[in-house]
Chain A
Amino acid sequence: MSMPDFLTFAALLAALLLATPILGGYMYRVFEGERTVFSPVLRPVERAMYRIAGVDETVEQGWKGYTVSVLLLALVSILAVYAILRLQAGLPLNANSAPAMSPDLSFNTAISFVTNTNWQNYSGEVAASNLAQAGGLVVQMFVSAAMGLAVAIALVRGLVRRSASTLGNFWVDVTRGVLYILLPISIVAAVILVWQGVPQTLNAPSTITTLQGAHQTLSIGPIASQEAIKELGNNGGGFLNANSGHPFENPTGLSNFLEMFLILLAPFALTYTFGRYAGKQRQGWVLLGAMAFIFVVGAIFLMHVEANGNQLFPAGVDQALGNMEGKEVRFGSAVSGLFATITTDTSTGAVIAMHDSLTPIGGLVPLFNLILGEISPGGIGAGLYGMLVIGAILSVFIAGLMVGRTPEYLGKKVESYEMKMAMLTVLVLAVSILGFAAVATATQPGQAGPLNAGPHGFSEILYAFASQTANNGSAFAGLTGNTPFYNVLGGIAMLIGRFGMIIPILALAGSMAAKRRVAPSLGTFPTTGVIFGVLLVGVVVIVGALTFFPALALGPIVEQLLQNAGKVF
């Protein structure tokens, strides 16, 4: 890893730490309905939207009402996107003449964008019309991100409210998330991306003549706007198949830096919002500390192994640049490793390099990030609620007894009901990732998917279901995913990964909200210190590692060991 790579990383962290309190505090004010800088402009719009939709913003919902609203919005969204994709051939704004998508691919794609996954078994430039991209998929990029934010805020409210029966109003939370948070930042980011050279047009693809005299079709479209929310909303669904590796999505080092910043911005800032709600910023900082620790260690490891190259390259290949297979020269091996870590640490799934071409042990990092359930710092909203439930609540429960009190978090007792819900979220990850991977490895249509044999092929399958279950959407690639088998199973995995988490988490929030709050004392389990941070990392990593170690051993780990012995797949 070279000095510029290292400095890029350091500058990124510094920028994020600077932005965290600013955006975090701002998000708190937005969700608590306080006045913000955008209120004079956006408040009338917001009010008009409620009037049209018939929403009374003063009425709060209990956890059941909140959950039903989440599911309702998701269902309507899935149906709408499915309809657009199936009918896009005959709908307007089809400048690239995209044909109708197949039922199973439409099913997968609709779920993919509504669940904030953005798994793409299609090439955007040829398979999706501008209407489908901008009017269907990008809309969901905003809505699904706001949904994640809303659920996280609902959980936080549940944790901090005393003897309360409500968690807030979902419609209000989603609306505010889109209007006050996602839209303004996306607009600014899109303008910067346009400045950096990203196209923003509704024109048809342009055909040019290359220097060699050949004709080449350049896929252009409303890319900058999609790119901004793709990263900010942790969506990852690229306008173009090559995703952020394509120069039209991510032309320069600066645009790349901005994209990495946007990906991590909201998940980092949400921990600060949480601290505000908890009444003690340290409660948020300790979560961020644990998240950032896992992130930084993974990033440095991956940057290091990718920059180190591959000893099996033929003698003629220059190793100075590291393992450049599947990477863009303008980013380099280490920054590509950094991007791969960031995109899998969040639920983004955007890529600037082929994860399939990472060194085997390097490929372990994205895979490991995914199976942890993306909590370092995790997807927008999803990272916070994942960390709070799988991290904080589980840690407090396992180790909390060791201080001689029954477990409590933020003064709320963690009892059987909460444990049931927390274990459900852990189970959901395991069932969906391991279960579907097992089905795929054991059946003919599943075995037909992977491009490579042996452990690498296994990694491709495991990664596909980990990515979809974790609502990440990044592909290890190498897997032929656009088959009815993978489309349908993947669609189900995404649904389970999203709502199998959200439902128990909102139930837990409802139960916690109703509890009285135990006053803190010297005898209270400390959740603000370094020890708790260490415990969080320990529990998250051990629970994740214990669940998936055998599978990982059969995938990237053994592949690296075999590669060391000169065997490749």
Chain B
Amino acid sequence: MSILESIDLSGGTRRFQRFGGRGKADGRGAPAGGAPGPRGILDPDLLRAALPESVRKLNPRYLIKNPVMFVVEITAALVTLIAIANVTGFEPVGGPSGLGFQVQIAIWLWFTVLFATYAEAVAEARGRAQAATLRRARSVTQAHRRTADGTLELVGSAELRRGDVIVVMEGETIPGDGDVIEGIGFVNESAITGESAPVLKEPGTDIRSSVTGGTTLTSDQLTIQISADPGETFLDRMIALVEGAKRQRTPNEIALSILLAGLTIVFFLAVVTLRPFGDFAGATVDTVALVALLVCLIPTTIGGLLSAIGIAGMDRVARFNVLAMSGRAVEASGDVDVILLDKTGTITYGNRLAASVTAAPGVTETEALTAALVASAHDETPEGKSVVDLARRRLAELKAPGGTDDEPGFKALTATISEDIPFRAETRSSGVRLASGQLVLKGAVDAIEHDLDAALPPIIRDETDRLADAGATPLAMRQDGRIIGLIELKDTVKEGLVERFAEFRRMGIRTVMVTGDNPRTAATIAREAGVDDFIAQAKPEDKIGFIRREQADGHLVAMTGDGTNDAPALAQADVGLAMNSGTSAAKEAANMVDLDSDPTKLLEVIAIGKQLLITRGSITTFSIANDVAKYFAIVPAMFAAVYPELNQLNIMGLSTPQSAILSAVIFNALVIVALIPLALRGVGFRPAPASELLQRNLLIYGLGGIIAPFIGIKAVDLLVTALHLA
């Protein structure tokens, strides 16, 4: 299965594949620490909650922002008036259609509008449920503000302004976003990230100094400088965004609305001129039928779902624990074609881990592995642990004592240790002294070589050079004066990234690795990770230069960053994803913030951006393609009286003119409801070149959009006829 496919974009379970087996919580609930119950697309609670809101949205003053649905609302009101005029005994207005027909058309037109507002309300309700949990964390708290004379005063968190200095005690909620300027303490950030393990905060560290309002200090005392005014804090912005309250239409959405409004005017012309054309032909065209034709032709499907698609897209990003500052940023991420990734922490784990053990001449592999294990048994550094892991895995394969599956053997081996010899800068080695008095040490090759009885065997020297060339770090092991072998430590590429970069290449996205390593090491890692390009020996300012160059060549660049010196590059990039653990400066500059501080998420964000755009395009195409069938349903019906010959165009064989028109209107309304789940979930997306995506989606939504309504309208017609509705 493709990695991107493994992103469960249903929004319900939030089970995203993580990389590197960091043991981070998978499948957590909502970002704010777990919303109760299942949160599927069609969660009944949400669906119910959206109902009153959808009726409120019928307010014309609100609806006018959506020209397509506004037109439908006007037509619905018009047909309602015609029906009322008819029932109150006026002359039948607008033509010969019967009252029952008028009432039914009116009802379905109202449903059409309602389904559209409902889609938007459901999308918003999903966001709001998420916001509610966030809001709980935002409840007003007290803060100890340091006054000019150095004393502390008690103020409400709402009074805090940017630049204020506050003191937070153990157990208190941090009242606002800021940077630690004094003290060291653990902060529980689960309200924001869902991660329950407390995070160490200390001043001046760039990464660890920023705190977020709504999180809790679990130890010690911190002095914090507030970095955001009330209402502009992270939580505030996040709440506003997920609720869709401050949602601004994105540039592409606006452009699409122009297309839809333009088409609406064109179809209005096409329909309204049918009156004089009909009169010229001697046919009185029924107003209700004209209205029905208009509503069926204008792009109601995409018009009704457009804002829901946008809200759901933002929501998908938010559910991913990424805070996008604007919908524009999500849209831009779909356009990105160059990704700039830090090597350390993003592509590699950042720690040098044991990758292999080589035995010296005359030493068996088991001996070498056992020595490596023993020498590192009490080494608590990640490197040391990784040596033990590797040795035990390999011993298990060799069926030697001490393997992963042999706990007693391992205990027996470690029991031979009598004394630890810790790492010291002078010796550049560490290890143990055994009960037998023997020394087992590992360390830098030249340091170990110095204490050997004999010269380093050529085979080991060659291997040392080879490893160093490849960017790895060789460690030598000796037992007293005897060389045992080499341990290869190297920076390891995270699992799954190779496949993922390959997928991005297929989508035409170029990945570029940035590292401070020398070019040779960088080239090795780049090759292993499968990135397309790398910048070696990079200084922070190189990033912005690179981004500018790429942009000048017409590329759109995304990057991740966390440090203050990343801020200019984050701002320059088309999509800048800052880590929540990063500095305020970085977060300010970026247009997205990852609350989990996981830089690889940039890749998912891009996938979500693309999916959002594809969903929008697919439903637009589908909506326009639908019109073909509707013409074949309505036009023959409309002129059935004067030109019965036109019934030859009634290729669906709809039973009567009235049922044809009614069926088209009903289908048109129902298709909105039917597509709500698709709009909220997004269309299926797999990484592929644009030409493949286009071909597939054109087939499904273009050709499918032409064919589907022929079947759908016919089915509704059969039902309408069977129920004697028309």
Could you tell me which A residues sit within 8 Å of B by CB distance?
394, 397-407, 411, 414-416, 418-420, 423-424, 426-427, 430-431, 434-435, 437-439, 441-442, 447, 454-455, 457-458, 516-519, 521-526, 529, 531, 534-535, 538, 542, 545-551, 553-554, 557-558, 561-562, 564-565
Contact = CB atoms under 8 A, between A and B. Distances in A.
Most chain A CB neighbours (cut-off 10 Å) among B556, B620, B702: B702
B617 A550 contact: no
B408 interface: no
A402 B614 contact: yes
Contacts of B693: 402-404
A551 B277 contact: yes
A522 B506 contact: yes
A405 B280 contact: no
Contacts of B609: 404
Given A529-B691, A538-B702, A562-B643, A401 B266 contact: no
Contact of A399 (B271, B635, B698): B698
Identify the 9 closest CB pairs spanning chains A and B, nearest first: A401-B617, A404-B610, A523-B508, A423-B262, A522-B508, A521-B508, A441-B280, A403-B690, A519-B554
B639 A553 contact: yes
Interface in B247-284: 251-252, 254-256, 258-259, 261-263, 265-267, 269-281
Given A406-B252, A423-B259, A519-B553, A437 B273 contact: yes
B269 A430 contact: yes
Nearest to B302: A398
B412 interface: no
A518 B617 contact: no
A437 B618 CA distance: 35
Given A398-B621, A554-B639, A561-B645, 16 more contacts: A401-B618, A402-B621, A402-B694, A403-B690, A407-B255, A427-B265, A434-B269, A438-B273, A442-B279, A442-B280, A519-B337, A519-B554, A521-B508, A546-B266, A554-B278, A557-B646
Nearest to B252: A406
B305 to A, nearest CB: 13
A542 B624 contact: yes
B510 A531 contact: no
Contacts of A416: 251, 254-255, 258
B517 to A, nearest CB: 27
B645 A523 contact: no
17 contacts: A397-B255, A399-B617, A402-B614, A402-B617, A402-B697, A404-B613, A406-B335, A415-B251, A518-B556, A519-B337, A522-B506, A525-B694, A538-B702, A546-B624, A549-B270, A551-B270, A553-B635
B331 interface: yes
B470 interface: no
A517 B697 CA distance: 26
Interface in B581-624: 609-611, 613-614, 616-618, 620-621, 624
B627 interface: yes
B631 interface: yes
A518 B555 contact: yes
Given A402-B701, A553-B639, A397 B259 contact: yes
Contact of B635 (A411, A550, A562): A550
Interface centre among A437, A519, A531, A550 (most CB of B within 10 A): A550
A475 B271 CA distance: 26
A420 B258 contact: yes
B381 interface: no
Contacts of B341: none
B501 interface: no
A450 B445 CA distance: 102
Contacts of A458: 277, 280-281
A394 B266 CA distance: 14
Contacts of B556: 518
B151 interface: no
A404 to B, nearest CB: 3
A406 B259 contact: no
B625 A438 contact: no
A564 B643 CA distance: 13
Interface string B404-424: 000000000000000000000
Contact of B273 (A420, A434, A519, A564): A434
Given A522-B508, A522-B690, A526-B694, A517 B554 contact: yes
A522 B334 contact: no
B649 interface: yes
> What class of interface size applies to chain B in its complex with A?
35 or more
Contacts of B259: 394, 397-398, 419, 423
Contacts of B702: 399, 538
B685 interface: yes
Contact of A547 (B267, B617, B697): B267
Contacts of A549: 270, 631, 635
A286 to B, nearest CB: 13
A518 B293 CA distance: 41
B702 to A, nearest CB: 7
Given A398-B620, A438-B276, A518 B554 contact: yes
Contacts of B627: 542, 546
Name the residue among A418, A524, A545, A553 with the largest chain B CB count within 10 angstroms. A553
B456 to A, nearest CB: 50
B507 to A, nearest CB: 5
Contact of B649 (A398, A402, A557): A557
A551 B273 contact: yes
A522 B507 contact: yes
A547 B276 contact: no
Contacts of A439: 276
B436 interface: no
Interface in B548-575: 553-556
B509 interface: yes
Contacts of B331: 406
A546 B631 contact: yes
A483 B518 CA distance: 85
B281 A554 contact: yes
Given A521-B337, A547-B266, A558 B554 contact: no
B508 A524 contact: yes
B648 interface: yes
B689 interface: yes
B695 interface: yes
A403 B270 CA distance: 31
A531 B621 contact: no
A402 B281 contact: no
A401 B554 contact: no
Contacts of A523: 337, 507-509, 689-690
Interface string B73-90: 000000000000000000
Nearest to A458: B280
B277 A438 contact: yes
B658 to A, nearest CB: 18
B454 to A, nearest CB: 57
B628 interface: yes
Contacts of A402: 614, 617-618, 621, 693-694, 697-698, 701
A405 B297 contact: no
Given A420-B258, A517-B554, A551-B273, A403 B506 contact: no
Given A398-B620, A419-B258, A521-B337, A550 B648 contact: no
Contacts of A553: 635-636, 639, 646, 649
Contacts of A547: 266-267, 269-270
Contact of A403 (B337, B554, B614, B643): B614
B354 to A, nearest CB: 38
Interface string B499-521: 00000011111100000000000
A324 to B, nearest CB: 26
Given A518-B556, A526-B694, A546 B617 contact: no
A296 B710 CA distance: 28
B269 A431 contact: yes
A82 B5 CA distance: 68
Contacts of A538: 702
B258 A401 contact: no
